[in-house]
């Protein structure tokens, strides 16, 4: 059974750094793209970017390029989404999902709250 399990909710202060994770199981992690999707409170889905764990090829939406880092460690079947300096506007639910053109399996989401 394909599963994506994300790390738990985070509460951070503006300016702090954060790295959240997404662990895949039940399939060959290296051979499928993993994407990240943001959903701000009460808002729609936003495509952030994707990574191919096999070679770490990464693509970003222009809206998120330079704002976050996407990485993966294929040895432990885990993808990451990272911020170096959080802003209040980063408060959102973040989903990881398998795929590139479309997402066929989704993680349960990680709620990130940034507040002073």
Partner 1 sequence: QSVLTQPPSVSGAPGQRVTISCTGSSSNIGAGYDVHWYQQLPGTAPKLLIYGNSNRPSGVPDRFSGSKSGTSASLAITGLQAEDEAEYYCQSKDSSLTGSVFGGGTKLTVL
| Binding footprint of partner 1 on the chain (CB under 8 A) | 37, 44-47, 49-50, 59-62, 95, 97, 101-109
C-alpha span between 52 and 113 (Å, rounded)? 27
User: Cα torsion for 43, 80, 2, 103, to the nearest 10°?
Assistant: 40
d(Cα 73, Cα 80) in Å, to the nearest integer? 8
Q: For partner 1, which is the closer residue by CB, 75 or 101?
A: 101
- Residue 37 Cβ vs partner 1, minimum distance, rounded to whole Å: 8
Place of tokens 């996407």: 70
Of 3 and 17, the one with the shorter C-beta distance to partner 1 is 3
Q: How far is the CB of 57 from partner 1 (least distance, A)?
A: 11
* Least gap, CB of 110 to partner 1 (angstroms): 11
């Amino acid at each position: 059974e394909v599963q994506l399990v994300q790390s738990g909710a985070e509460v951070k202060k503006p300016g702090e750094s954060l790295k959240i994770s997404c662990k895949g199981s039940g399939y060959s992690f290296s051979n499928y793209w993993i994407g990240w999707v943001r959903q701000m409170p009460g808002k729609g889905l936003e495509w952030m970017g994707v990574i191919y764990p096999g070679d770490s090829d990464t693509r970003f939406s222009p809206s998120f390029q330079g704002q976050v880092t996407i990485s993966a460690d294929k040895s432990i079947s885990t993808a990451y989404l990272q911020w170096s300096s959080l802003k209040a506007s980063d408060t959102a639910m973040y989903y990881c999902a398998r795929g590139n053109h479309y997402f066929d399996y989704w993680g349960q989401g990680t709620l990130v709250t940034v507040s002073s």
